[in-house]
Amino acid sequence: MKKIYIDVDGVLLTTSNIRAAKGAVDLLYFVLQNFDCYWLTTHCHDNDTTQVISYLSRFFYPSVIEKFKAIKPVVWNTMKTEGIDFDSDFIWLDDYPMQGERKVLEQHGCLKNLIQVNLDNNDELFQVIQKLKDLN
């Protein structure tokens, strides 16, 4: 099963007026059914999901939080790409990857595996779901 790495801020939550992004729950249900899911966020970088689950619990219903618990942690320190398994087939959802992270993806021939999310676009997460369906 293809892996998917998921950022939180700017993907599941809006960056301004912090709240759940439109379509975040739909995206969550889709990826959990179709991918091997991993957090790739500043809220979870030490192989422990406690912080990210606590953070998200302020924005989502408890039933959704229970679903979030199925997403696995990864370990990374400086760049999120440290947490990516480049030997696997994967997709990475992020709103603002650093230039250095983009360079690492390029070096591995994986820049196409990045789906850059822009919540300013109308129905962005529904468009992301469609892209994932097309890739899967």
With 0.85 as the threshold, say if the pTM is over it: yes
What are the extents of the domains in the chain? 3-135
Query: What pLDDT, on a 0 to 100 scale, did the predictor assign at position 15?
Result: 80
**How would you write the pLDDT of the chain (136 residues) with one tens digit per residue?**
999 999 999 999 998 768 999 999 999 999 999 999 999 999 999 999 999 999 999 999 999 999 999 999 999 999 999 999 999 999 999 999 999 999 999 999 999 999 999 999 999 999 999 999 998 7
Residue 122: other Cβ atoms inside 10 A: 8
CATH topology for the 3-135 domain: Rossmann fold (3.40.50)
The percent of the chain in helix, strand and coil, each rounded to the nearest 5, is: 40, 20, 45
Angle, vertex CA 131, rays to CA 126 and CA 135, nearest 5: 145
